[in-house]
Amino acid sequence: MEANTICPKFHKAVEILSKRWNALIINQLMSGSQRFCTINSSMPISGRLLSERLKELENEGIVSREVFPEVPVRVEYTLTEKGLALQNVFKEINQWASVWVRTAEDRKEDEM
């Protein structure tokens, strides 16, 4: 009998999504194309790290980067078809979290 093994594709998918900030960046882009500064202001992450994560997500084919030849140059990030395919996954995680995950705020309300 074969031992259970983790599917390499599942492992890679979890690795991508669980890397710090990646899921939040993807979730942020679910609402549409955004400029770097908009994404950066929506989460407590350094510009350098955000740039690194966006580049990684772009290399994975999840995010696309479009440069507009304007002065000053405008750069927008958008989810690709591959990235948008995660929409149902994120919806399910959100529903699960609504039922099962408790935050510090929830605990404070319980104490009142």
Bridge partner residues of 34 (DSSP): 77
104 pLDDT band, cuts 50/70/90, is confident
pLDDT, one tens digit per residue, over 46-85 is 999 999 999 999 999 999 999 999 999 999 999 999 999 9
Pick one of 1.10.10.10, 3.40.50.10490, 3.40.1440.10, 3.30.450.30 as the CATH number of 8-111.
1.10.10.10
Average pLDDT over residues 26-38: 97
pLDDT, tens only, 1-10: 455 677 999 9
User: What's the confidence (pLDDT) of residue 62?
Assistant: 98
**Residue extents of the structural domains in the chain:** 8-111
Cβ atoms of residues 57 and 72 within 8 Å:
no
